[in-house]
């Protein structure tokens, strides 16, 4: 009785065990990435080169960073009370944007991120001032809770402008 091993029965090993064949087991040879194989095809050599950024690409990032620094300087120049009023107004505007989104009215979706970042910058400057005064985290949270409770609810600036007209 002849016994057959699993290696001999597999479809990939179609040659007897004793013969060593250097052909690949699959028909797909793949792409060769060596530099010598790309030489006959000049189009492939150009495609393999890393893409270069346009000349003006970095300039826009530098301009945005400068604009952000200028905004931070303006925030730092404000008194703390003015920062707190501005935060309340921006949170009201953010609420109005959420209402517009839920009512499926027209709005700019980029305003969400812009307002949230501006609020975060203002609160960061406020916390920096507290740290300079020596207020620890626990006391800061207590003061923040008192400040939030003292806020008088008023319409955001966009609604105030509409009511005045």
pLDDT at 159: 81
Within-domain flag for 156: no
pLDDT at 55: 60
Using CA atoms, how far residue 19 sits from 11, 23, 26, 90, in Å, is 16, 12, 18, 79
pLDDT at 15: 53
pLDDT at 24: 56
pLDDT at 138: 93
> Is pLDDT of 151 > 80?
yes
Q: What is the mean pLDDT of residues 148-165?
A: 79
Within-domain flag for 100: yes
pLDDT at 158: 81
Within-domain flag for 119: yes
Within-domain flag for 83: yes
pLDDT at 62: 85
Within-domain flag for 29: no
Within-domain flag for 87: yes
In the chain, the number of structural domains is: 1
pLDDT tens, position by position, 6-18: 555 555 555 556 5
Domain of 111, CATH number, reads 1.10.287.310
pLDDT tens, position by position, 114-143: 999 999 999 999 999 999 999 999 999 998
pLDDT at 64: 79
pLDDT tens, position by position, 45-104: 555 555 555 565 678 888 878 888 888 899 999 999 999 999 999 999 999 999 999 998
Within-domain flag for 56: no
123's CB contacts (< 8 A; 6+ apart) are: 87
Q: Domain of 107?
A: 63-149
pLDDT tens, position by position, 16-39: 565 555 555 666 666 655 555 545
């Amino acid at each position: 009785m002849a016994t057959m091993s699993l290696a001999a029965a597999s479809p990939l090993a179609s040659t007897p065990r004793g013969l060593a064949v250097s052909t690949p087991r699959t028909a797909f040879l793949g792409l060769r990435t060596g530099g010598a194989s790309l030489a006959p095809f000049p189009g492939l050599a150009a495609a393999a080169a890393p893409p270069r950024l346009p000349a003006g690409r970095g300039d826009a990032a530098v301009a945005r960073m400068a604009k952000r620094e200028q905004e931070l300087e303006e925030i730092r120049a404000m008194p703390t009370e003015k920062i707190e009023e501005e935060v309340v107004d921006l949170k009201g505007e953010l609420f109005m944007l959420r209402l517009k989104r839920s009512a499926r009215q027209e709005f700019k979706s980029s305003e969400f991120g812009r307002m949230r970042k501006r609020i975060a910058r203002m609160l960061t400057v406020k916390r920096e001032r507290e740290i300079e005064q020596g207020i620890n985290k626990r006391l800061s949270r207590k003061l923040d809770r008192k400040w939030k409770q003292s806020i008088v609810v008023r319409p955001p600036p966009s609604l105030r402008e509409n009511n005045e007209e």
